[in-house]
Amino acid sequence: MKRQQTKERKRAAIMQAATALFSECDYHVAHMDDVAARARVGKGTLYRYFPTKDDLYFATVLDAWDHMRHELVEAVGIGDTPAENLYRMTARVLAFFWPRRQFVALLRDSMENPEWRRRREVVVRLVESELSRDRGARSLPPADLRIAVELFLGMYRAALLYREEDSRPEILARQIVAIFLDGIHGAGAADAVEKAHGNAAGAAHEPADG
């Protein structure tokens, strides 16, 4: 038992060190030597757990999706409104990734891997389940609801990558949820865009004077 606990601690230390390193610099300039030094383990130990840098990188990405799933599950309060739950979900995810800003950009790099897609789908379904309780979202066809969830998760990524230095997770979380839900409830906005598009197309086909 003690030996197993030691192995788990070493693996956790390696994962933490690797996530920190991948958060600070590009994957191609990150070195396994640096990970070993940060984790305070020998290179031989590091390679026993992760034979290649790709293995280590992919493990950190899967771990990040698992952490995101955990934060979303923990944020949902039974009996609370969808808006309240979506806010807490957003705030917790932003807070987790706040010090890992650069790592967020890496989360899409393994999207062709089946395990990556499975982990991500769990996260998508959690958000979709909560969003489907919203009165405005319930009127959306399933395909449109899925697109809405993808847009919502895209707002997480944009907020983390392009936030100002003095931004705060809880403030951005409120902005994200407010903008997102107002967009769903403002069903007339789509008609306005379509009308504007029609007017622009009509103007483009009008003959020039003279």
- CATH code: domain of residue 94: 1.10.357.10
Residue 184 placed within a domain: yes
Same domain flag for 124 and 85: yes
Same domain flag for 46 and 78: no
Instruction: Tell me which of 196 and 60 has the higher pLDDT.
Output: 60
Confidence bin at 99 (pLDDT 50/70/90): confident
12-58 tens-digit pLDDT: 999 999 988 988 887 888 899 999 999 999 999 999 999 999 999 88
CATH number for the domain spanning 37: value is: 1.10.10.60
Same domain flag for 149 and 122: yes
Number of compact structural domains in the chain = 2
Same domain flag for 47 and 105: no
Residue 210 placed within a domain: no
Q: What is the pTM of this model?
A: 0.76
Question: How far is residue 61's CA from residue 121's CA, in Å, rounded to a whole number?
Answer: 14
Question: How far is residue 49's CA from residue 97's CA, in Å, rounded to a whole number?
Answer: 25
Residue 106 placed within a domain: yes
Question: How far is residue 156's CA from residue 17's CA, in Å, rounded to a whole number?
Answer: 24
Same domain flag for 76 and 42: no
Question: How far is residue 85's CA from residue 21's CA, in Å, rounded to a whole number?
Answer: 32
**Of 52-56, 109-113, 202-206, minimum mean pLDDT range:** 202-206
Average pLDDT, the chain: 84
> Which residues are CB-neighbours of 141 under 8 A, at least 6 positions away?
none
Residue 101 placed within a domain: yes
Instruction: Show the domain range for 192.
Output: 59-205
Same domain flag for 181 and 121: yes
Same domain flag for 177 and 90: yes
Same domain flag for 73 and 177: yes
Residue 188 placed within a domain: yes
